[in-house]
């Protein structure tokens, strides 16, 4: 009796979240705000990629950030140090953000943004299941993690609009098979954009930022 009840509860939870995500998406669309949901394992480099991105886009676009972590405000402090408005969500053990917590965070963040980045909790499983109302999911993968992550966690890469492979400056020091990883990404999601980046030497960051610029709604750009 227990197992079927758990499945039903899970379905109800996802349906409720989907309804709230739809409301978030309508709100973001009306405001002309691009919302980017960054998902990765812990340590893949989401915050560092954000810092590099803010350095390049912050002068042209108004950008806000929502930081999701189980505990601490360390990542939010890093982003605030760049002069970017940021709201921290501490999930106290929950392995993902959901649409309701994002809605509350947006209330605190305020309006008038061209881009809002949501740095999700470090996890390649649960965040893939929960729509936040974002325009695009972006899955990050560092070369120090190993190239098998797309095959082992296909859902997040299947639903992502882009994959960012980080820390490529370390490729010579790892056994990461880049060609095999790129092939798996293509097989899982043929239409996704893929960026090879290094925050250390700046490789690939410009191309990533140009991709983001093209996604910012025209209404949002004209209205600022």
pLDDT band at 2 (very low <50, low <70, confident <90, very high): very low
DSSP structure class, residue 77: H
Of 132, 131, 143, 175, residue with least CA distance to 43: 143
Q: How high is the pLDDT of residue 72?
A: 93
In what helix (H) or strand (E) does residue 154 lie, and over which residues does it extend?
helix 154-159
Q: Alpha-carbon dihedral of residues 165, 166, 170, 171, nearest 10 degrees?
A: 0
Tell me the pLDDT tens digit for each residue of 87-96.
Answer: 999 998 889 9
Whether residue 91 contacts residue 118, with contact meaning beta carbons closer than 8 Å, is answered with no
Q: How high is the pLDDT of residue 59?
A: 86
Between 113 and 224, where is the model more confident?
Answer: 113
Residues forming beta bridges with residue 136, ordered by sequence position: 36
Between 3 and 47, where is the model more confident?
Answer: 47
According to CATH, the topology of domain 2-220 is Rossmann fold (3.40.50)
Q: How high is the pLDDT of residue 218?
A: 58
- Please report the beta strands in the chain, taking only residues with DSSP state E, as ranges in sequence order: 34-39, 63-69, 86-90, 115-119, 136-142, 162-166, 193-196
Q: How high is the pLDDT of residue 124?
A: 95
Tell me the pLDDT tens digit for each residue of 98-129.
Answer: 999 999 999 999 999 999 999 999 999 999 99
Tally of CB atoms within 10 A around 93:
8
Please, what's the b/e burial string for 142-157 (b: 16 or more CB within 10 A of its CB; e: otherwise)? Answer: bbebebebbeebbebb
Average pLDDT estimate for 144-170: 97
The rounded distance, in Å, linking the Cα atoms of 15 and 7 is 12
pLDDT band at 49 (very low <50, low <70, confident <90, very high): very high
Residues forming beta bridges with residue 66, ordered by sequence position: 87, 118
Taking 60 as the threshold, does the pLDDT of residue 8 lie above it?
no
Average pLDDT estimate for 168-184: 97
């Amino acid at each position: 009796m227990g197992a079927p009840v758990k499945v039903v509860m899970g379905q109800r939870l996802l349906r409720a979240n989907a309804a709230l995500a739809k409301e978030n998406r309508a709100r973001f669309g009306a405001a002309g705000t691009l919302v980017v949901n960054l998902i990765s394992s812990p340590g893949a480099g989401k915050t560092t990629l954000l810092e590099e991105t803010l350095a390049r886009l912050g002068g042209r676009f108004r950008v806000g950030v929502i930081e999701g972590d189980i505990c601490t405000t360390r990542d939010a402090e890093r982003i605030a140090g760049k002069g970017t408005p940021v709201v921290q969500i501490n999930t106290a053990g929950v392995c993902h953000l959901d649409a309701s917590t994002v809605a509350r965070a947006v209330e605190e963040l305020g309006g008038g943004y061209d881009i809002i980045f949501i740095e999700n909790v470090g996890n390649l499983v649960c965040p893939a299941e929960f729509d936040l109302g974002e325009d695009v999911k972006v899955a990050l993968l560092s070369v120090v993690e190993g190239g098998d992550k797309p095959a082992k966690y296909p859902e997040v890469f299947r639903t992502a609009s882009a994959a960012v492979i980080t820390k490529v400056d370390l490729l010579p020091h790892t056994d990461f098979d880049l060609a095999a990883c790129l092939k798996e990404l293509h097989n899982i999601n043929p239409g996704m954009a893929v960026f090879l980046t290094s925050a250390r030497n700046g490789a690939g960051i410009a191309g990533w930022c140009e991709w983001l610029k093209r996604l910012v709604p025209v209404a949002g750009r004209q209205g600022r």
